[in-house]
Amino acid sequence: ELKVEQNPLFLSMQEGKNYTIYCNYSTTSDRLYWYRQDPGKSLESLFVLLSNGAVKQEGRLMASLDTKARLSTLHITAAVHDLSATYFCAVDMNNNAGNMLTFGGGTRLMVKP
Amino acid sequence: EAGVTQFPSHSVIEKGQTVTLRCDPISGHDNLYWYRRVMGKEIKFLLHFVKESKQDESGMPNNRFLAERTGGTYSTLKVQPAELEDSGVYFCASSPSSGGDVAKNIQYFGAGTRLSVL
C-alpha cells in the first residue's frame, strides 16, 4: 500500500524567510503533484513532477523530485503573506491516465507579517 | 471555462438521514473522481468514473455509499443512512482523457462539500 508522508504538518514563518516542505512516499512512482488549498476553496494544481531530478519553479515556490530517494520538496523563498495556505503533495502509482491519487496529510503554512 | 462545481457547499444532517452530494465536472472531462477528507486525516480516494462507468471503487467505505454518473456528465454521491463517522469534506475532481499526454493527467478539484452528521 502506497503511503505518503508530509512534514511538517504545520508551519508558521515570518515574511522574508525561506523554508522547505518535505514529501516522502513509500512505493516507486514517477509522477508527483503539489496542490495548494485556500480555506473553503478547491485544491489548485501547482506542479506536476514527472521524472527523477525534475525541478519546477513558479514565483517563490520551487518543487523538486528525487525518485530514488522517493522524496519531493517544496521550497519557499522569501515567504510573503499571500502564500499562507495548505499545501498537499499527492502521488499516483501508475503512468496510465485516470489514476487515483494518494495524498500526504497536508502542510498548513501561515506566513506572518 | 467553468471549473469543477460541487453542491451543496455544506450539509448538516442527523444520523440516519440520507444526503446526496452532487458534482459537475469540467465539460468534456471523461474522468471523474470522488475523495474524502475526514477531520485530521489525509484526503482519501473513494472512486473513479470513466464516463458513466465505474473504473475503480476500491475506496468506497461500505454499501451505505452509492455513486452514480448517469450519462457520463454530472455525478452524485448518496450516503444512506448517514453515520457520525461519515462527517468530513467530500471532494470531486475531474480530468480529461490524456491520449498519452501526461500533462492532461492533472486532476482539477472542486471546493468540496462539508458534511456534518450529528
Check residues B58 and B97 and name the one with the higher pLDDT.
B58
| Residue B104 confidence (pLDDT) | 61
Write the pLDDT tens digit of every residue in A32-65. Answer: 999 999 998 999 999 999 888 889 999 999 999 9
Q: Is any Cβ of chain A less than 8 angstroms from the Cβ of B66? A: no
Is the confidence at residue B34, as pLDDT, over 60? yes
Nearest by CB: A42 against B4, B33, B44: B4
Q: Is any Cβ of chain A less than 8 angstroms from the Cβ of B112? A: yes
- Write out the E strands in B28-104: 31-37, 43-50, 53-56, 65-68, 75-79, 88-95
B25/B95 Cα distance (integer angstroms)? 8
The torsion angles phi and psi of A80, rounded to 5 degrees, stand at: -125, 160
Q: What is the average pLDDT across B31-54?
A: 93
Nearest by CB: B103 against A48, A98, A102: A48
Write the pLDDT tens digit of every residue in A56-110. Answer: 999 999 999 998 999 999 999 999 999 999 999 999 876 555 688 999 999 999 9
Give A2's pLDDT tier (boundaries 50, 70, 90).
Answer: confident
Q: Is any Cβ of chain A less than 8 angstroms from the Cβ of B108? A: yes
In B, residues 26-55, which contact A (CB 8 Å cutoff)? 30-31, 33, 35, 41-45, 48, 50, 55
| Residue B16 confidence (pLDDT) | 97
Chain A residues inside the 8 Å CB shell of B107: 33, 45, 101
In a 10 Å sphere around its CB, with 0-12 CB exposed, 13-18 middle and 19+ buried, how is residue A76 labelled? buried
Is the confidence at residue A1, as pLDDT, over 70? yes
Nearest by CB: A104 against B42, B56, B109: B42
